[in-house]
Homo-oligomer: A and B are copies of this chain.
Amino acid sequence: VSEVGEFGLIDVVAGMVAAGEKKGEAWDRLIVGIGDDAAAWHSEPGIQLATIDALVQDVHFRLGMISWEELGWKSLAVNLSDIAAMGGLPRYALVSLALPQNTDVRDIVLFYQGMLTLARQFEVAVVGGNISLAPVVTVNVAVLGSTKGPGGRLLKRAAARPGDKVAVTGSLGGAAGGLEMLERGLEFDTESTAALRRAFLRPFPRVKEARILVTKGVKAGIDISDGLVSDLSHICEASRLGATIQTDLIPVAQSLNANFGPKAADMALSGGEDYELLFTAPAHVVEAAATALEGRGCGVTVVGEMTLTGDTAVTLLDENGQEFTPATSGWDHFGAEKHGA
**A residues whose Cβ falls under 8 Å from a Cβ of B:** 6-7, 9-10, 13-14, 31-54, 56, 58-60, 81-83, 85-86, 88, 92, 94-96, 98, 127-136, 138, 140, 142, 144-147, 154, 156-158, 222-223, 238, 334-341
Contacts and interface: CB of A to CB of B under 8 A. Distances in A.
Given A35-B340, A39-B49, 12 more contacts: A7-B337, A32-B86, A39-B50, A40-B86, A42-B46, A43-B146, A56-B132, A59-B98, A59-B134, A96-B140, A98-B138, A132-B335
Nearest to A223: B37
A140 B52 contact: yes
B14 A82 contact: no
Kindly list the 4 A-B residue pairs having the minimum CB-CB distance in the complex, ordered from nearest.
Answer: A128-B341, A34-B340, A10-B339, A6-B337
Nearest to A6: B337
A37 B51 contact: yes
B337 A10 contact: yes
B47 A6 contact: no
Contact of A54 (B41, B98, B145, B339): B98
A35 B98 contact: no
A1 to B, nearest CB: 9
A31 B48 CA distance: 10
A140 B37 contact: no
A39 B45 CA distance: 16
B341 A37 contact: yes
B339 A50 contact: no
A338 B130 contact: yes
B94 A339 contact: no
A128 B51 contact: yes
A272 to B, nearest CB: 14
A27 to B, nearest CB: 14
A341 to B, nearest CB: 2
A122 B205 CA distance: 35
A197 to B, nearest CB: 23
Contacts of A337: 6-7, 9-10, 130-132
29 contacts: A7-B337, A10-B337, A10-B338, A14-B339, A32-B340, A34-B339, A35-B238, A38-B341, A40-B50, A41-B47, A43-B43, A43-B146, A50-B92, A50-B144, A51-B94, A52-B96, A52-B140, A54-B98, A54-B134, A58-B135, A59-B98, A94-B341, A96-B140, A98-B138, A127-B340, A128-B341, A129-B341, A133-B336, A135-B136
